[in-house]
Amino acid sequence: MKFVKKPIALPSSYRFFYQISIFLLILEFCCPKNKGASTFKLQLLAWALRDDEGCKSLMEVTKLKQFKDNFKFWALDPALNRAIAFALADGFLAIDNDKIISGPKGDALLLYILGADVFIDEKAILKKFGKSVSENFISTVLKNEKA
């Protein structure tokens, strides 16, 4: 007798090209030109895209520009760090001045993503966040979390 392992379904957020696309969209919509983003920023915004609740609470916090007690810290997802590492190795992302920026293949991929009919919801949400989630803001979140 032989047992065959059945392949399991995987959430889209565990796919390389889903996360890479999200990172590039974050860099495009939510970061100053050519300045890039910290891993925390990528983590935070990618986390906010996971479910409506996270997105809503982050939106509220950025609007108030201060923390409310009910803002729960996001989860730092090791899967996202893996995604960043793979994307760096494959040339979709690069590192510049300790910040993550779009890599040599990233610009071409981003142009495709922006023009193609994909990730409509994600684009709309990230565009709405815009530059409101700044690096300063992130460091405040981190400090607040430690306190």
Residues that bind other proteins (CB under 8 A): 5-21, 33, 78-80, 82-83, 86-87, 89-92, 105, 107-109, 111-124, 127
- Cβ atoms within 10 Å, residue 22: 23
CA atoms within a 13 Å half-sphere pointing along the CA-CB vector of 4: 2
Task: Please name the helix (run of DSSP H) or strand (run of DSSP E) that holds residue 95, with its range, or none.
Answer: strand 93-96
Say which residue the tokens 């090791």 belong to. 78
Q: How far is the CB of 111 from other proteins (least distance, A)?
A: 6
- Measured CA to CA, the distance from residue 101 to residue 92 in angstroms comes to 9
As measured in angstroms, the least distance from the Cβ of 122 to other proteins is 8
Q: Which is nearer to other proteins, 116 or 147 (CB)?
A: 116
Q: Which pair of tokens denotes residue 35?
A: 């300045």
CB 110 within 8 A of CB 126: no
19 vs 43, which CB is nearer to other proteins? 19
Residue number, 59 or 142, with CB nearest to other proteins:
59
Report in angstroms how near the CB of residue 139 gets to other proteins at its nearest.
26
Q: Which is nearer to other proteins, 64 or 124 (CB)?
A: 124
